[in-house]
Structure 1
Amino acid sequence: MLKHSLRCLVGLGAAGALVAASATPAVAAAEIEPYFQDTTLAVGSTKTNRLLLYADEPTTLNDVSVRYDYRSLTNKITIAPADGQECTAPEPGVLVCEERYGVSLSELPPLGSGIHRGVTQQVNMAATQDAQVGDSGDVVVSFQAAGGQRGSYTSQVRIGEGVDLAGGPFTTHSSKPGGKVSVPLAVSNAGKKTITGFVAVFDLSYSIRTRDRFSNCLYSDDHLISCEFDEEIPVGEGLSTTLNLELAKDTYAPTNQAGYAEFMTKADFEDLTRVREAVGSRAATAGNGPKLTLAEAPIRARQADQTDVGPGYDYTGWTIKVTGRNGTDLAAIGDALRGRAGAVVTATVGFRNNGPATLDKVNADWEAATHTVVELPPGTTAVGVPASCQLRAGTRTYQCASEMLLVAGKTYTVEFRLRIDRVIPNARGAVLVNAPCECPAGGSFEDDIKPANDRATIVVNAAQGGGGGQGSGGDSSGGGGGALPITGSPTGLIAGIGGLLLVAGVGVCVLARRRTSRFVA
């Protein structure tokens, strides 16, 4: 089972654009694992959901049919097409929809993650007037595709009270790298029923940290993930507190760093994270200090499951203007290889972020922070190329995309397997970091503080003493190939990638849809 594939499960469905590479048909049938998020519904409200499909290799599914079996909730909920797909209802409590196009499963960031995802068209889920608070049941969502590919996932649905959380206003602050910032965390009740407990889920840029360790909050290293509150919020009232944040010393300056908090009911948060233990994800860590509280308010037991029926403005955010100057030096890494004619050698090439600043280019366009061009030495042919690299038409050069987050002090390399067709003394190729790129969201990093080291060489010579065909990296450093993987980077949290973060132990893209709605008119 692809349990590791389920570690990036939630919030991706509405993002749509979170794809790092175009899917290509797989040679053999990939193992597909489906996921359909749990849902809490309130009478009179509608939520949109979709089936997510995961695999450990890229693939395209054709002639896809998706079946929604909600007979355990017949007359309690309805499921209807949301994207204009062709659907039929063969019996009460069953909906069958045909995908108009094939479903492509493409690799999720970071490059080289090995987790590929595709999405089906959306459906609308709603509670009927016959539903009562406390009703619950299952929705079995199954798919089948050409070639015999099939699978199913059982999702939990419950009926709760409808409430409406609203976040406070966005605010702007300033600090230098390494400085401290206090920001407001405010939430109010915009609905018609008292809110009894809620959760704040944070989406903070990589450079935004906290040293507080509240017992009702979850953390991954110095990154704040979420906080759960028992306080009630009466209708028309609000609560607030102050968060003490700080910027990492390797924050790029000048720049703007952004942070957001999405408020959700406890039931909605449970829907988001219930699967974490089942997939064996690494748990976030609860703090061991006092509780973070939002002003003084009576605390009472949660009377019923609640769900947010007005999620369009349930978040708040902060912009931190980083002052001063703190730049980045990306230094190219080449290699020195030896081998006989006909031998296959491995060139480990790429770059190192010499700092002092981390380069954080995470944004809604999912573009690389920089691009590296690798020119093959004469007399060689590439027989193994990283997935993140593409041959430039009519040349012997490959353009390689980096990650969006390049951490200061870390090395990023890929491996090219080169066949030596003929031995040419000191045959030289090149590695150029920060290479120009005609990319949809812009080119490469143009403000490198030491461009003199942006270029390195790949040198190929004859094997010494008639030796073998495997080269050694004279000036290479760092680890293995594939797609410019981060060497020694934090695990479990890729902060800021549209909300790609560790939430209660699940590596998920929680706020991707929020990011999309903020910046798309």
Structure 2
Amino acid sequence: MTMRLRALINRLALTTAAAGLTLTGLATPAQAASEMDFAYVGIVVPETVTVVNGQTKTVKFDLYNLSDVAAENVTVAFGSAAKPIPADLGFTAPAECAENVCQVGSLKPGQRRSVTFTLKPTGSGTTPASAITLFSSVAGKLSDETSLAVVRTAKGGVDLEIDGVTDMKLSPGKSADVPVLIRNAGDKEVKALGLVLMAPYGITPVLDYRNCERLAEGGMSVIVCVFNEGLAGGGAFTLPADTPLRIKVPADAAGPFDYPAYVGAVGLTDKYVFDFAKRTAGAAGKELKMEALLSATAEEPDVVEDLNEDDNYVHFTVSVPKTSADSAAIGGVLRGSIGSEASVKVGLRNNGPSAVIPPGIDWMPYVHVKLPTGVELTEADYRCLPGRSLTDIDETVQDPADVTDLVCLVIDSVKPDKKFLFDISAEIIDSLDYKAGAVTVDGGVQDSKSGNDKAALTVKLTAGGEGGGLPITGAPAGLIAAGGAALLVAGAIAFRSARRRRIVTVVE
């Protein structure tokens, strides 16, 4: 795979992480410590956009409600009296805006709204980067402020853009076509194109065409389709109705949840096209084709470069309605003699029928571990934090021996009949009064069976320790087999960082 295509896929993977973890982290303090009990609308915009003199460039950015309360009367403004937009950039606000101020309306917690504007710089040659300042407001109060650097060029080049895709709603097991419209807003032709579709958590791209191949990228569903034909500067294409891009929701998908998905486009080198043709020679099925919308001629570029890679992909969500998942607690037994260290695996089992909702803006799955008395914690799974719940995290604890309760984060979508386990180790100490602890799961809105949400975590002295090896208290819950879920330390880091983060751009 060429470095450019690999770079695009890595970029999409990072954006997926941002949508699923970082944005969750930014919103989590509102639930965890009431730090975001006000509406906050953040602006997510490329740092820089390159525009060709005399060419029209469409620029897209997103508004996110990063709080857990609704944002009413949201507006976005372009520039201000103190920070005007340079006239020679040829700025045009969206048609529905008045005097460079746009009424966005309301945004639900976690909701995203895309906004586009256009630039058509006048003059010739190059100029130092100009800045366009963007402001978001909620009910008349400034919420976020950021700037976009605009770099003008007379050299030109390839500039692929993808039209936005409307968020969709699909029930488990259902599928739908994804509209694709790709433009070359530059003045140079790209002679070969790659179309990339990527989705996490089992959302599946359906592209069973002979010029498409599936890639294994960190648990993501990634498909790359190759078009060995050019797209001239000013040209655009879509996909014919008989060979669409389609996306499918698994039958056991968790809901309610908004699953992120991404469509990207990248110019391909001759070497990649040649290697791809060798890999897929003799493949069966239809060929995914381009259907031209505009025609133009342009000089073929020497190399495949893109003036603006940030608009080479588009993000949309697939909303799945509520499904059922029975999360059952898995307890265990700390076995050993007094003075020895004992280990146990605790967590949850998903009894189905659907998967457990992944962490999102409204909910983060977790397990509360209450240690039994008579033990001192020596080591906890690095996805666990001291505390009793997401609203009661204690980051002041320095000595593990002082920890009596742990909050263990389930940063994953647990499939039916699968477990998510955490490793806990503790030293068994001499005690006159051993009392059982507990493992409690929060099954969220999917879990209507509460009888199995709690399981015992007990101590059992073995031979050589006081007590002659007899059970101390509580019914043993049984040892859990080794294994468990994939390690997702990034989620714990995002959560821990989010609790320390404060938004400082809000004007009170």
TM-score normalised to the size of structure 1? 0.52
Residue aligned with 1:249, SS:
coil
Q: What amino acid is aligned across from residue 232 of structure 1 in structure 2?
A: G
The separation in 2 between residues aligned to 1:194 and 1:8, in whole angstroms, is 20
The separation in 2 between residues aligned to 1:16 and 1:447, in whole angstroms, is 24
Q: What amino acid is aligned across from residue 380 of structure 1 in structure 2?
A: V
The answer to whether residue 423 in structure 2 is matched with residue 428 in structure 1 is no
Aligned residue in 2 for 1:398: 406
Contact 1:427 1:461 in 2 (8 A): no
Residue aligned with 2:230, SS:
strand
Distance verdict in 2 for CA 1:370–1:15, change over 3 Å: closer
Distance verdict in 2 for CA 1:311–1:486, change over 3 Å: closer
Distance verdict in 2 for CA 1:285–1:229, change over 3 Å: closer
Contact 2:341 2:427 in 1 (8 A): yes
Distance verdict in 2 for CA 1:173–1:460, change over 3 Å: same
The separation in 2 between residues aligned to 1:183 and 1:248, in whole angstroms, is 16
Aligned residue in 2 for 1:219: 214
Aligned residue in 2 for 1:357: 354
Aligned residue in 1 for 2:328: 331
Q: Which consecutive residues of structure 2, in runs of 5 or more, have no partner in the other structure?
A: 1-5, 26-49, 54-124, 127-154, 388-393, 395-401, 492-508
Aligned residue in 2 for 1:265: 267
Q: What amino acid is aligned across from residue 383 of structure 1 in structure 2?
A: T
Matches within 5 A, 1:86-125: none
Aligned residue in 1 for 2:456: 457
Contact 2:455 2:477 in 1 (8 A): no
Q: What amino acid is aligned across from residue 377 of structure 2 in structure 1?
A: A
Q: What amino acid is aligned across from residue 311 of structure 1 in structure 2?
A: E
The separation in 1 between residues aligned to 2:228 and 2:454, in whole angstroms, is 56
Q: What amino acid is aligned across from residue 247 of structure 1 in structure 2?
A: V
Shift of 1:457: 0.8
Residue aligned with 2:327, SS:
strand
CA deviations 1:476-499 (Å, max 9, x no partner) are: 43534xxx7339xxxxxx9xx9xx
Distance verdict in 2 for CA 1:457–1:215, change over 3 Å: same
Aligned residue in 2 for 1:344: 341
Distance verdict in 2 for CA 1:354–1:465, change over 3 Å: same
The separation in 1 between residues aligned to 2:213 and 2:331, in whole angstroms, is 41
The answer to whether residue 263 in structure 2 is matched with residue 295 in structure 1 is no
Aligned residue in 1 for 2:486: 486
Q: Give the CA RMSD over aligned residues.
A: 4.7
Contact 1:174 1:322 in 2 (8 A): yes
Distance verdict in 2 for CA 1:478–1:445, change over 3 Å: farther
Q: What amino acid is aligned across from residue 315 of structure 1 in structure 2?
A: Y
The separation in 1 between residues aligned to 2:17 and 2:203, in whole angstroms, is 26
Match of 1:309 among 293, 307, 310: 307
Distance verdict in 2 for CA 1:422–1:318, change over 3 Å: same
Q: What amino acid is aligned across from residue 250 of structure 2 in structure 1?
A: A
Aligned residue in 2 for 1:386: 381
Distance verdict in 2 for CA 1:302–1:464, change over 3 Å: farther
Residue aligned with 1:306, SS:
coil
Contact 2:331 2:346 in 1 (8 A): yes
Distance verdict in 2 for CA 1:380–1:368, change over 3 Å: farther
Distance verdict in 2 for CA 1:13–1:415, change over 3 Å: closer
Counting strand residues as a fraction of each chain, which structure ranks higher? 1
Q: What amino acid is aligned across from residue 485 of structure 1 in structure 2?
A: A
CA deviations 1:454-513 (Å, max 9, x no partner) are: 2111111222587899x9x84343534xxx7339xxxxxx9xx9xxxxxxxxxxxxxxxx
Q: Percent identity?
A: 24
Contact 1:368 1:403 in 2 (8 A): no
TM-score normalised to the size of structure 2? 0.53
The separation in 1 between residues aligned to 2:299 and 2:208, in whole angstroms, is 25
Residue aligned with 1:453, SS:
coil
Shift of 1:379: 0.6
Contact 1:413 1:478 in 2 (8 A): no
The answer to whether residue 186 in structure 2 is matched with residue 184 in structure 1 is no
Q: What amino acid is aligned across from residue 265 of structure 2 in structure 1?
A: F
The separation in 1 between residues aligned to 2:302 and 2:190, in whole angstroms, is 10
The separation in 2 between residues aligned to 1:411 and 1:262, in whole angstroms, is 34
CA deviations 1:99-158 (Å, max 9, x no partner) are: xxxxxxxxxxxxxxxxxxxxxxxxxxxxx99xxxxxxxxxxxxxxxxxxxxxxxxxxxxx
Q: What amino acid is aligned across from residue 329 of structure 1 in structure 2?
A: D
Distance verdict in 2 for CA 1:407–1:180, change over 3 Å: same
Shift of 1:220: 4.5
Structure number, greater radius of gyration: 2
The separation in 1 between residues aligned to 2:364 and 2:416, in whole angstroms, is 13
Residue aligned with 1:427, SS:
coil
The separation in 1 between residues aligned to 2:196 and 2:212, in whole angstroms, is 10
The separation in 2 between residues aligned to 1:307 and 1:268, in whole angstroms, is 13
Contact 1:185 1:316 in 2 (8 A): no
The separation in 1 between residues aligned to 2:16 and 2:256, in whole angstroms, is 29
Return structure 1 stretches of 4+ with deviation > 6 angstroms.
6-9, 12-21, 42-45, 284-287, 465-469
Aligned residue in 2 for 1:411: 419
Match of 1:374 among 355, 369, 374: 369
CA deviations 1:50-79 (Å, max 9, x no partner) are: xxxxxxxxxxxxxxxxxxxxxxxxxxxxxx
Aligned residue in 2 for 1:228: 226
Aligned residue in 2 for 1:206: 201
Distance verdict in 2 for CA 1:255–1:403, change over 3 Å: closer
The separation in 1 between residues aligned to 2:15 and 2:203, in whole angstroms, is 26
CA deviations 1:72-100 (Å, max 9, x no partner) are: xxxxxxxxxxxxxxxxxxxxxxxxxxxxx
The separation in 2 between residues aligned to 1:419 and 1:345, in whole angstroms, is 6
Contact 1:338 1:464 in 2 (8 A): no
Q: Which consecutive residues of structure 1, in runs of 5 or more, have no partner in the other structure?
A: 1-5, 22-41, 46-127, 130-159, 275-283, 435-443, 488-493, 498-521
Distance verdict in 2 for CA 1:381–1:172, change over 3 Å: closer
Q: What amino acid is aligned across from residue 453 of structure 2 in structure 1?
A: D
Q: What amino acid is aligned across from residue 192 of structure 1 in structure 2?
A: D
Contact 1:347 1:458 in 2 (8 A): no
Contact 1:425 1:461 in 2 (8 A): no
Q: What amino acid is aligned across from residue 387 of structure 1 in structure 2?
A: Y
CA deviations 1:233-276 (Å, max 9, x no partner) are: 23333211211222101112344334220212225998xxx9xx
Shift of 1:339: 2.4
Residue aligned with 2:180, SS:
strand
Contact 1:208 1:246 in 2 (8 A): yes
The answer to whether residue 476 in structure 2 is matched with residue 477 in structure 1 is no
The separation in 1 between residues aligned to 2:469 and 2:253, in whole angstroms, is 45
Shift of 1:358: 1.9
